[in-house]
Amino acid sequence: MSRPIQAFIATLVSFFSATFVSMGAFAAQDMPTPAFPHEWQLGLQPAATPTMELISAFHTELLWICIAISVFVLVLLLICIFKFNEKANPVPAKWSHNTLIEVIWTAVPVLVLVAIAIPSYKLLYFQDRTTEAEMTLKIIGNQWFWSYEYPDSEISFDALAIPDDQIKPGQHRMLETDNHVIVPQDTNIRLLFTANDVIHAWTVPAFGVKLDNVPGRTNETWMRVTKPGRYYGQCSELCGVDHSFMPIVVDVVSKAEFAAWQESKKTKTAAAAPAPAEAPAEAPKAN
C-alpha cells in the first residue's frame, strides 16, 4: 500500500474517532456536573474521591470541636459578666492561684490538639501518594494556561481558557477550557505537578486536590474519582496578571470511553506527524 493511501486512511480513522468522541460522553451538554458551586451554598462541594470524603468528614469533626469550644468559652464569659461583676461581688476574692484549674486548662487543650492531630496526620499520609497507580497524569503550570501529559500513552496537550465572547449556552464563564482533561472512573491516578515559570496551584475542590506547581520541582499526589461527570477547578496560587484565567475542566468517563479517547488522540498524533522522506533510489550500476 502506498504512503498517500496510508495517510488518507489514517486521516479517515482520525476523523471518525474524533466524531465519535465529540458525539459521545464528552459533549458539553451531555456531561453531568456532580459537584458545582451554587448560590447560598453551605459546606463543601460534594465529594467525588475517597480523599475528599475524608476531608469533608474531618472538616465536620473540626466544625463541631470549634462549636463546642466557642460555646464553652461563651458560657464562661457570661458567668464572669453576670456573677463576678462589681455589683454582684463588691469585695473581690483574695486568692490568685488554683492548682486544679491550672492543670485542667493546660491538659484539656493538649488533649483537644491530640484529637485533632491524629486524624489530620492520617489524612495527610493518605493523600500523599499511591503505591498502586494504574496511570499517571502530569500537570504543568504556565503563564497562564495548563499543559497536560499522559506519560503512559505519550499524549500531551495544552488547555487554555475560552474567552468570554466565545462562551456557549450551558457553559460557565471563566471556568471553561478549549481542551478537557479526560480520566477514567474508579482508577488510581498518580498526579505529578510542576511548572515552567512561576508557582501555580492545580485545584479541583470535588477531588480534594490542591497542590502547588513549583518550577524545578515535582510534587505528587493521587486521586480516584468514583462519580462520572464534569468537574471544574482553578489555579489557586497568585501567579500573575492572568491568574484568574487558568480554569480546569476534568471529564470523568468510563474506562471503555477513556480507552476510545486514548486511541483517537494517538490516531490524531500519528496523522499529524510528517511522513518520513523517501530514500533516494540507487543509481544503476555501470556494466
Note whether 71 and 187 are same-domain residues. Answer: no
Dihedral over Cα of 17, 184, 194, 49: its sign? positive
Closest CA to 189 of 153, 213, 141: 153
Number of structural domains (the chain) is 2
For residues 245, 247, 176, 226, the Cα torsion angle rounded to the nearest 10 degrees is -170
How would residue 283 be classed by pLDDT, with cut points 50, 70 and 90?
low
255, part of any domain = yes
Give pLDDT, residue 277. 54
- How many Cβ atoms from other residues are within 10 Å of residue 139's Cβ? 22
Whether 43 is covered by a domain: the verdict is: no
Fill in the amino acid letter for 33: T
Same-domain check for residues 266 and 144: yes
Domain that holds residue 266: 135-270
Looking at the fold, whether 192 and 261 belong to one and the same domain comes out as yes
Band of pLDDT at residue 275, cut at 50, 70 and 90: low
Does the pLDDT value for residue 23 go beyond 50? no
Residue 197 shares a structural domain with residue 122: no
Same domain, 113 and 142: no
Q: For residue range 75-115, list pLDDT tens digits in order.
A: 999 998 888 888 877 887 777 888 898 999 899 999 999 99
- Are 205 and 257 within one domain? yes
Please indicate, yes or no, whether residues 151 and 254 belong to a single structural domain of this protein: yes
Classify residue 146: in a domain, yes or no.
yes
Of 116-120, 172-176, 283-287, the range with the lowest mean pLDDT is 283-287
As a whole-number percent, the residues of the chain with pLDDT over 70 amount to: 83
What does the block give as the cell for 148? 497536560
Give yes or no: residues 264 and 233 share one domain. Answer: yes
Which residue in 191, 241, 181 sits closest to 213, CA to CA? 191
Residue 120 lies in a domain: yes
* Tens-digit pLDDT profile for residues 140-166: 999 999 999 999 988 999 999 999 989
Q: Which SS3 state, helix, strand or coil, does residue 147 take? A: strand
Which strands sit side by side in the sheet containing 135-142, from one edge to the other?
155-159, 145-150, 135-142, 189-195, 219-223
The answer to whether 269 touches 155, Cβ cutoff 8 Å, is: yes
In-domain check, residue 29: no
Q: pLDDT by residue (tens digit) across 213-263?
A: 999 999 999 999 999 999 999 999 999 999 999 999 999 999 999 999 988
Model confidence over 173-212: pLDDT tens digits? Answer: 999 999 999 999 999 999 999 999 999 999 999 999 999 9
CATH number at residue 171: 2.60.40.420
Q: 187 and 74: one domain?
A: no
pLDDT at 163: 92
6 in a structural domain? no
Is 14 contained in some domain?
no
* Domain co-membership, 264 together with 150: yes
Do 250 and 225 fall within a single domain? yes
pLDDT of residue 266: 76
Got the DSSP string for 82-126? Answer: HHSSTTT-SS-------HHHHHHHHHHHHHHHHHHHHHHHHHHHH
Residue 177 is classified by DSSP as B
147 belongs to a structural domain = yes
What is the Cα–Cα distance from 205 to 235, expressed in whole angstroms?
Answer: 11
227 and 244, same domain (yes or no):
yes
